[in-house]
Structure 1
């Protein structure tokens, strides 16, 4: 600074004031529209005390100066009047207004009339301004620059005067790069300015500046600053940024809409970054230390700031550097500390438009997206910056991200950060990259606590260590090929305990889940929703698999009523609604308020070798997070007693790095008519096998019982038909039918008439059970087939009937029913005391049967032979059946004999009151279904349709002529003719039978 404003100059100024006003007005009137900056006149320097450029990264300069010159007219008059000036300092070039006292507004306005200098104390001065103004001649004016109390909304303000007119410089932090912008406002439009030079001192209290302080400057004296030697300015610490650029923007009163811009670059970038200190510390403190509990977390990063340039102990007070600002922060929380799904209830997210990172305005993020609070202690500002932590809206590229918003003193910082969960362990790593080049001594993040805290503690006791990599802006290699400041790796540990009070954890985590299952309406035979619930306590070992659920016999799924979902849709969780059979609800997360998720259960095609399967699809939409659809498949096995075993795949434990921490599972099968209760009211149980993440699986049972069995009827329909075959063999058909409202059958025993006997040559070589199980029974042991129709399946079951070796003289019967499921029925065969064959199926599943049709073949491999009486008698077949409800059904069923030759036998019927017979009784044997037509002389004709073969009795009354003939003769012979026409078509057959009727002696008299 080469020109000073002396006392003599002040006196000269007083003489010229009247003329100056006129000249200023003339200058304003004569201004042309060529206002602007003289090319290349803008210079910005950061100097040492010897005048050399200060290039040390983080170094404290002696002074920092900006100079620029405005255009003049041909008459050497300012070409316009400056209205506003903005000087954009390079990012990282910092001034610390807290390094010295501030001048109050009252003192700054207290202008000394003699010196036209404000009444600010000497220790508040931070520099000096020189402005050359137009008073008809060029007049340089020197003025002190003072550290002012900033206006609301600004971090710092400075001021100087021109001709006693105060000019205020307000410092603001830019949103785009967080550098400082110095804005000059209040410049008088009546004063023409030729040029301006503004100098800030690096250490304002340095005694070398005493001669330029305030009124001492105006009076030619010296004033000492009564303040400690603290740095006010510091160079940027980024050695890789390139030359530092300062940008000047000016606007005129004549045309304020036009902005004139100039830039000034330093000769080189800051260098020697290896001298810059950076010693941060990190502290992580949970709200509670209880294992597995949701917890608030306080995360603090401290960066000690030095403010004494003599702190290094060097001879030169400026031969020191400031602490580097933090550029990148990568913090990895302890293994086991994870995102808690419990936090998702009511949680929202902040969109990019709502946070408006590039805008200085306040964000409009929803309150429900707030995760906690941030506080930044900045040594440059009176008060900490404070604000919320928001959850950012998830994207396909970044599932978890947050925004830090900290405001204060006119500065608003919006810092985006990412949080990356490890996809296998869920361990969280937070990254905040390219942070502003603004110093802070402490950055504190406080995440919300309570049952819906966003974080949960590790589930095991012991040390929990947070690690970090904190990279300063001074890292890297500078242009002088000197290594920069290395990243710091501070860590912090706390101890997880059993109760949050230091108590120990158990040797192993408990695992005692609660299991309950049952139906809404426990009425025997009713259709009712079925619900299964599994839940574990907070702190118990986590669920890994509901590996097996066994339903009691008779508790069935009506799978035949549901269209099955295909394999591809089942795996994708996209089954159509037509295959939906129920709903699934799961709770996830630590604490007392786990998050609830709901999905659907669909019946699928066979899975993992089972005939049917389930697709349990739960959309994992938790608050703003959409993790896709979680699908768990299960195989439905049908046991030989028709009971069901459901074997599920392992449960997911982590999804996209977020541990699911399943607390409960509720499956409700509510499709109308899908689940059917047993008709057996005995005490039963529903069983399950549950596998924890660590440890052995455990078996759990839930009692199950239905009631009101006695109200169910049990009256099955039973038909027995035997058909004559070659070589005296016989085929047998036993058909059992039931109506839907009945109790299901438990056992059926059928005793064949003596007209059927066992065919010993066939029964001598039965199949073994091992062969039957392996499906390798010899062909000769196959003696028939069976078909079962049940309403719970869409298609019938059918299969062969084998003789297998049993515990009696005769082989047992093994019925292998196959179809959608596989069921084996075993029947015992015994010879009664009356030499009758009795077959008993004693373990029939508790399943509704529309019909069961058992057919034993005739022919060479027939198991039955017929006697000579096969076609001549009406054989009784005693049948006894027991229902699942304990009711007994007993009936002598008439066996239908088919395949016999057409035959007839006629005899006199009952006599009338006068002793004369009036009818001929014909016993006709029909070979099968068809029509019998009976006629004869003196007989009334009759016609009868029969549905099967067998012997039928028909009464043919005498005609009136026949009765007269009998009365007159006392004896009457007649022949009954029987014509049989087969139902299936073919030629008719005819047989005759002769009968003689005699009148009694009383009748003759």
Structure 2
């Protein structure tokens, strides 16, 4: 955009600068007068532009000779050399009545010479010559030439670039060392056709070369005009270098009066924004075309130039993460915005092309769009995401920095290019690359969308525009249908193994923003020594299209979070290509079922937009691979890993993955049980002994866990019919289901030791009201039950039922969690409130110290095998009553 405008201005300035090139200067060259001005003051109107300078001289002598001359024309000054044909360089310097037709002239130059240059010529010599448009060389936006004193050719090159702050720079190099000029004035004509014909000015040589009047039959077209901005006076600067001192001296400045009437100028830009493909929810190239209609009528002011452009893309058009594949950024150092040197931006930072068309240039100004380096962590600032535009043609170099402000919550994009070069263009086309790795993605749904833009001119006008576009393909993105693959990599019973869970969803459609995972019973992890430790990795694929961008992350086991006793902290550093969006942290609550020890993981919502970039999650994979952390169940029954996936715009979806381990038959199963009656004074009929039961077993890899246990107490010990049914001592059934029993129902204490926790679990044993349900759901009272509330790093409730078979008390633990326990101790209190009582035979009372007391124990492992015991129950009877613990397999 800027490039085109500046090229035009450069062209006009060249002609003007050529007209006033100085001739001679001293070793310390003294330009004592430098002037510039315009014949008109109304902004944008056709006007001549004048330049002049004088070098200090004495009669018959000048003190030095000009070698180089650099003139920067006022900001906003524009001329259009394309309205006249070019003159070949060989012709412009040949003295002939027929050299270069009059239609090639764009102005005139008047020279004054001090020294004699030919016999019989009056002194000082005054010479007026046409300034003609020449064929530009490579590196020139435009070129102009004249012949001073009929002997000395002078060429002026016009360029536009950052070095001159995009003012037209006119340069003349290596002027003749013998050129004896001390004064020059130049005029660039507003309408060359009004001055190209025969007129009052005479070139050296006589009447055939008179000029200054209208050229018959020539079209009146505008060449030069007043800048279309009224903010401040304009400045023209000139620097010269002499042959004696070849370094350019500091600039001489000349002010040009500030134009007036900017408020009356017409400024009507239009914008069109169209996607390369009109399919919803897909990456797409985009074509952005800005048209600024130019006024070419000599009688009307020209169109003011674009100053600021603010373009707000439609809601839903967003940055595509898929573009990050191989993407690099161009730094400000590589751009070198203050020089016309070629940018050194990496090829991988290019994301599009730019083409600028200007009414004052014969060729387009072409270039590239680059991703710029990140300067901020705030997406709304415009400095987190930036783009560079560069464009070049012969003699023109444009480098622009654009801010891309992104709404952090919605991802809507607003691009700002501010203080653009004050140069004319009629069309600028930006083409952003397409394909699966396009930098932009279409809205997720079909419909009509609008780009809202605000354009302001250097003359002060501001115009709001709206550009419609349609998305009408791929409207049916399908439902919310994520897939699930999950399991352990080594599905061997009781073995430690890596756990992997992977979910994918098709590109497009509702976003995935949450998951709940119900693990199979017995698939557990070791808490001991692992809190605060990384236990695995995650990998997510974000973005639309066939090539979403993959990001790695970590999973760390942590303590309580919210109402959950444990949690995961999943951290994904959002570094996509050259952009660092910070760490994305998602917490997962880990719940442990108090009845089954089953693990349920509930994730916080996944972010669907990160720093203004829609995530568009297509795939996530969680790998828990810390050695020795996860281990398989000891049951080979078919099970499942059950998940629920959630979306902010669709109903939840449930998925299950079959889960089954093998080789249960190879597991060891060697539980051992010791039992002891307590209370030296509680050994006779009517007394209430306590009871201690201790289970020990191998626990860990290679060993099966107990699934069910049935204990038949000796016939001499039964439930006390009074204490076991006393409402004050029994927990209500419903309260027991909530594990909310009162302290009055405590009848004992239990402790469990497991290799997966740092500390033992311990808690009270409660006596619970026994209930079974009839066919109609009615409640039927039964013998009491037990609730063992183990508390510690996790909460586990173990429940038992009691019944009486053949006069013996039978306690059954029907559902023991599939978790490794090395030792489990259960103490039932004795004494007056004890629930166990020594009974009697039909004939007499009983003293348990007088006979062996034997319990029968039957256990079943989760692996399907059973182990039964006859246990000699120790008695509190002194030496005579002490018996070693023996367990015999029945």
Does TM, normalized by the shorter one, top 0.5? yes
| Match of residue 514, structure 1, among 461, 477, 483 | 483
Task: State the match for 1:415 in structure 2.
Answer: 400
TM-align CA RMSD: 2.1
Task: State the match for 1:498 in structure 2.
Answer: 473
2 CA distance for matches of 1:656 and 1:742?
A: 50
- Greater shift, 182-191 or 328-337, is seen at 182-191
Map 1:807-826 onto structure 2 (within 5 A).
807=771, 809-826=782-799
1:828 paired to 2:801: yes
2 CA distance for matches of 1:492 and 1:33?
A: 61
- Greater shift, 630-639 or 186-195, is seen at 186-195
1:738 paired to 2:694: no
CA contact (8 A) 2:539 2:553 kept: yes
Deviation at 1:209, TM superposition (A): 5.0
1:188 paired to 2:176: yes
SS at match of 1:763: coil
2 CA distance for matches of 1:252 and 1:587?
A: 66
2 CA distance for matches of 1:226 and 1:172?
A: 32
Deviation at 1:549, TM superposition (A): 1.1
| Match of residue 327, structure 1, among 304, 307, 329 | 307
Map 1:50-449 onto structure 2 (within 5 A).
54-61=40-47, 63-73=48-58, 75-112=59-96, 119-136=99-116, 137-162=123-148, 163-175=150-162, 176-206=164-194, 209-211=197-199, 212=201, 218-219=207-208, 221=210, 224=215, 227-240=218-231, 242-257=232-247, 259=249, 261-266=251-256, 268-309=257-298, 319-396=299-376, 398-449=383-434
CA contact (8 A) 1:896 1:949 kept: no
1:589-647: CA deviation from partner (whole Å, max 9, x where unpaired): 11110111111000111111111111001111111111110100111001120001111
CA contact (8 A) 1:82 1:192 kept: no
1:66 to 1:857, Cα distance in 2 relative to 1, 3 A: same
2 CA distance for matches of 1:210 and 1:426?
A: 65
Task: State the match for 2:606 in structure 1.
Answer: 651
Task: State the match for 1:932 in structure 2.
Answer: none
CA contact (8 A) 1:726 1:859 kept: no
Deviation at 1:275, TM superposition (A): 2.6
SS at match of 1:871: helix
Task: State the match for 2:29 in structure 1.
Answer: 35
CA contact (8 A) 1:123 1:226 kept: no
Deviation at 1:91, TM superposition (A): 0.9
1:545 to 1:80, Cα distance in 2 relative to 1, 3 A: same
Map 1:418-497 onto structure 2 (within 5 A).
418-475=403-460, 486-497=461-472
CA contact (8 A) 1:900 1:949 kept: no
1:354-377: CA deviation from partner (whole Å, max 9, x where unpaired): 001001100101111111111111
- Greater shift, 432-441 or 852-861, is seen at 852-861
CA contact (8 A) 1:125 1:213 kept: no
1:260 to 1:369, Cα distance in 2 relative to 1, 3 A: closer
1 CA distance for matches of 2:207 and 2:546?
A: 73
Task: State the match for 2:666 in structure 1.
Answer: 711
| Match of residue 642, structure 1, among 597, 603, 618 | 597
Task: State the match for 1:912 in structure 2.
Answer: none
1 CA distance for matches of 2:803 and 2:738?
A: 26
- Greater shift, 865-874 or 516-525, is seen at 865-874
CA contact (8 A) 2:110 2:186 kept: yes
Task: State the match for 1:900 in structure 2.
Answer: 877
2 CA distance for matches of 1:406 and 1:76?
A: 50
1 CA distance for matches of 2:209 and 2:596?
A: 114
Deviation at 1:775, TM superposition (A): 5.8
2 CA distance for matches of 1:215 and 1:383?
A: 36
Map 1:596-607 onto structure 2 (within 5 A).
596-607=550-561
Map 1:553-952 onto structure 2 (within 5 A).
553-562=521-530, 564-565=531-532, 579-639=533-593, 640-727=595-682, 728-740=687-699, 741-765=702-726, 766-773=730-737, 777-807=741-771, 809-833=782-806, 835-866=807-838, 868-897=846-875, 899-903=876-880, 925-926=881-882
CA contact (8 A) 2:105 2:196 kept: no
Deviation at 1:402, TM superposition (A): 0.6
1:593 to 1:444, Cα distance in 2 relative to 1, 3 A: same
SS at match of 1:770: helix
2 CA distance for matches of 1:861 and 1:225?
A: 131
CA contact (8 A) 2:161 2:398 kept: no
1 CA distance for matches of 2:172 and 2:107?
A: 15
Q: Which runs of 5+ in 1 are unaligned?
A: 1-26, 48-53, 310-318, 476-485, 500-504, 566-578, 904-924, 927-945, 951-1005
CA contact (8 A) 1:527 1:676 kept: yes
2 CA distance for matches of 1:215 and 1:510?
A: 86
CA contact (8 A) 1:725 1:731 kept: no
SS at match of 2:734: helix
SS at match of 1:205: helix
CA contact (8 A) 1:879 1:890 kept: yes
Deviation at 1:34, TM superposition (A): 4.6
1:233-278: CA deviation from partner (whole Å, max 9, x where unpaired): 12111111x1121112122112122515322112x31110123221
CA contact (8 A) 1:275 1:321 kept: no
Higher relative contact order (CA 8 A, sep 6+): 2
Task: State the match for 2:778 in structure 1.
Answer: none
2 CA distance for matches of 1:393 and 1:725?
A: 84
1:719 to 1:948, Cα distance in 2 relative to 1, 3 A: closer
Deviation at 1:110, TM superposition (A): 3.5
SS at match of 1:771: helix
2 CA distance for matches of 1:423 and 1:880?
A: 63
1:195-250: CA deviation from partner (whole Å, max 9, x where unpaired): 0111111111125754258799752656836642211112111111x112111212
2 CA distance for matches of 1:553 and 1:192?
A: 104
CA contact (8 A) 1:551 1:645 kept: yes
2 CA distance for matches of 1:32 and 1:446?
A: 53
Deviation at 1:452, TM superposition (A): 0.6
Task: State the match for 1:570 in structure 2.
Answer: none
2 CA distance for matches of 1:321 and 1:370?
A: 38
1:3-38: CA deviation from partner (whole Å, max 9, x where unpaired): xxxxxxxxxxxxxxxxxxxxxxxx99xx96453112
Deviation at 1:540, TM superposition (A): 1.7
1:675-697: CA deviation from partner (whole Å, max 9, x where unpaired): 11111111111111211121222
Give me the TM-score of the superposition, normalised by structure 2.
Answer: 0.89
2 CA distance for matches of 1:773 and 1:589?
A: 47
SS at match of 2:401: strand
SS at match of 2:193: coil
2 CA distance for matches of 1:373 and 1:352?
A: 19
